[in-house]
């Protein structure tokens, strides 16, 4: 680990540098440079004020989430034109363009065969053409892509999580500092920060309606996600890239890729990241080679400096009880939130102080793009990287605890020298993948008590 990456690793320094802006707070002021074709931060996006100029958009990562985010971006601002797409696979890139053209027509989808890029270096070509970029590849690539976008003075929407290892988190932290200096808008796809039910509950909690959180339980227990079986003729690297959810260098395990949403809510409402974690996990149902190397269940206790303890559950096992929600116990009551637009605050005596019924609430997936492009147009500044980085690192620390069976502190987790993801330039379709199967086609599975994570 380089000296640069060893700097600023303590939890206190991390939080000081993060300057957390709860709920994606909007700061008005000068906006740094994504004027068309500009690499000068001083150019600002004043040229975009009032919607008078076209914003050029590029999508990096053309799967379902990248295509969905592009759809929401195009709906957020009629002055947006999609000018380039990039994906590791040309079929994914072409599918994305076809879908978006069907929705928005050729007058706004300006992507041509010459601006449809594929391969590991495709992101550079697409980002160079844009004012605003969507980063929606598997998260292992997020740090490298974010660094490149910030260096090119691009406004960014990037999906969670922001990295799959602590090395990547430190890269994102450094790039985020540069983005703040340049006043670049950066929105992270932790959409609960834009969801009306969460915002209303958070507001009332901050006003002291039910005291302080002392404990809580956060859940993402579900049947699981897709599996893409190995196809004839695939190289090992292509197989892992297609079936990316099941490899830690690409995905980080479902405690990070998916359960991050619930972990993020705990950090947000408590107002801090935890100081340590301990937990357990394993794989009992998803046990075949097509499920790579990740666990199918995790349980973690996150401990916070104020004494609060949050119990975290995530499970990918079909046929079990499913729940995706957050429950907190406070000094004078309780708080409940869920991604389905529900929120309640209740006293210990059972009096319901607030109930949010959000059946007709707008989609937070759309709101986050509405806010991003409104900020670009108005010369504002949104910076979601503080809570994005905190949530990412918290989930990684939880994975470290379940894989190792050890107690893991925040400081040691963030300083970890473990690096899972090579640079894109070092990846070759016909070369070795970052992890390789054994002779029977199986992958090494983390073993609590034996696996080293620091």
CATH, range 195-357+383-426: 3.30.360.10
Looking at residue 9, what DSSP letter applies?
-
Assess contact for 162 and 142: CB atoms under 8 A: yes
Residue 85 pairs in a beta bridge with 59, 116
Please, are residues 216 and 308 in contact by the beta-carbon 8 Å criterion? yes
Determine the Cα–Cα distance for residues 142 and 250; give it in Å rounded to an integer: 10
> Which fold, 55-191?
Rossmann fold (3.40.50)
Instruction: Yes or no: say if 136 and 159 are a contact pair by the CB < 8 Å rule.
Output: yes
Structure confidence at residue 51 (pLDDT): 55
| 55-191 against 195-357+383-426: fold identical | no
Cα 366–Cα 372–Cα 374 angle in degrees, nearest 5: 100
Domain boundaries, the chain: 55-191, 195-357+383-426
User: DSSP for 323-356?
Assistant: EEEEEEEESSEEEEEETTTEEEEEETTS-EEEEE
Cα separation, 65 vs 244, in Å, equals 14
Q: Which residues pair with 315 in a beta bridge?
A: 221, 297
H or E element: which one contains 56? strand 55-60
Alpha carbons 353 and 351: distance in angstroms, whole number: 6
**Sign (positive or negative) of CA dihedral 422, 425, 426, 428:** positive
Burial class (CB in 10 A: 0-12, 13-18, 19+), 43: middle
pLDDT by residue for the chain (454 residues), tens only, comes to 444 444 444 554 555 555 433 333 333 332 233 333 444 443 444 456 555 699 999 999 999 999 999 999 999 999 999 999 999 999 999 999 999 999 999 999 999 999 999 999 999 999 999 999 999 999 999 999 999 999 999 999 999 999 999 999 999 999 999 999 999 999 999 999 999 999 999 999 999 999 999 999 999 999 999 999 999 999 999 999 999 999 999 999 999 999 999 999 999 999 999 999 999 999 999 988 999 999 999 999 999 999 999 999 999 999 999 999 999 999 999 999 999 999 999 999 999 999 998 999 999 999 999 999 999 999 999 999 999 999 999 999 999 999 999 999 999 999 999 999 999 999 999 999 999 999 999 999 999 999 999 9
Residue 50: the pLDDT is 53
Residue 380 CB contacts under 8 Å (≥ 6 apart), including other chains: 26, 27, 28, 29, 31, 185, 374
pLDDT at site 152: 99
- Give the list of residues 6+ apart from residue 308 with CB closer than 8 angstroms, or none: 213, 214, 215, 216, 270
Retrieve residue 17's tokens: 């540098």
Which residues, other chains included, contact 302 with Cβ-Cβ below 8 Å and sequence gap of 6+? 263, 266, 274, 276, 277, 309, 310, 311, 312, 394, 397, 398
């Amino acid at each position: 680990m380089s000296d640069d990456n060893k700097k600023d690793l303590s939890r206190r320094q991390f939080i000081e540098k993060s300057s957390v802006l709860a709920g994606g707070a909007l700061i008005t002021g000068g906006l740094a440079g994504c004027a068309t074709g500009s690499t000068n931060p001083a150019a600002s996006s004043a040229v975009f004020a009032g919607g008078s100029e076209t914003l050029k958009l590029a999508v990096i990562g053309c799967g379902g989430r990248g295509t969905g985010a592009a759809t929401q971006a195009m709906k957020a601002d009629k002055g947006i034109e999609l000018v380039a797409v990039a994906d590791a696979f040309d079929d994914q890139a072409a599918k994305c363009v076809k879908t978006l053209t069907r929705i928005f027509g050729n007058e706004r989808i300006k992507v041509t065969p010459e601006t449809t890029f594929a391969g590991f270096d495709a992101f550079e070509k697409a980002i160079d053409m844009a004012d605003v970029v969507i980063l929606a590849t598997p998260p292992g690539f997020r740090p490298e892509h974010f660094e490149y976008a910030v260096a090119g003075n691009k406004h960014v929407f990037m999906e969670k999580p922001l990295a799959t290892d602590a090395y990547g988190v430190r890269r994102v932290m450094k790039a985020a500092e540069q983005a703040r200096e340049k006043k670049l808008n950066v929105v992270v796809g932790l959409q609960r920060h834009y969801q009306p039910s969460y915002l209303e509950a958070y507001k009332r909690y901050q006003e002291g309606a039910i005291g302080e959180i002392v404990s809580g339980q956060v859940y993402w227990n579900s049947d699981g996600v897709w599996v893409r079986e190995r196809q004839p003729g695939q190289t090992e690297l292509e197989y892992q890239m297609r079936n990316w959810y099941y490899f830690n260098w690409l995905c980080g395990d479902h405690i990070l890729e998916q359960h991050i949403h619930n972990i993020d809510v705990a950090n947000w409402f408590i107002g801090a990241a935890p100081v340590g974690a301990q937990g357990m996990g394993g794989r009992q149902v998803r046990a075949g080679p097509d499920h790579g190397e990740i666990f199918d269940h995790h349980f973690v206790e996150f401990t916070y400096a104020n004494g609060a303890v949050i119990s975290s559950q995530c499970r990918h096992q079909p046929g079990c009880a499913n729940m995706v929600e957050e429950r907190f116990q406070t000094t004078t009551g309780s708080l409940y939130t869920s991604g389905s637009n529900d929120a309640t605050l209740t006293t210990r005596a059972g009096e319901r102080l607030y109930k949010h019924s959000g059946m007709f609430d707008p989609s937070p997936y759309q709101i986050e793009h509405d806010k991003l492009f409104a900020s670009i147009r108005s010369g504002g500044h949104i910076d979601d990287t503080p809570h994005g980085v905190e949530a990412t690192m918290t989930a990684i620390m939880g994975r470290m605890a379940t894989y190792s069976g050890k107690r893991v502190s925040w400081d040691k987790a963030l300083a970890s020298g473990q690096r899972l993801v090579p640079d894109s330039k070092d990846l070759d379709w016909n070369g070795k993948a970052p992890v390789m199967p054994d002779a029977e086609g199986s992958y090494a599975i983390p073993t609590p008590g034996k696996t080293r994570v620091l």
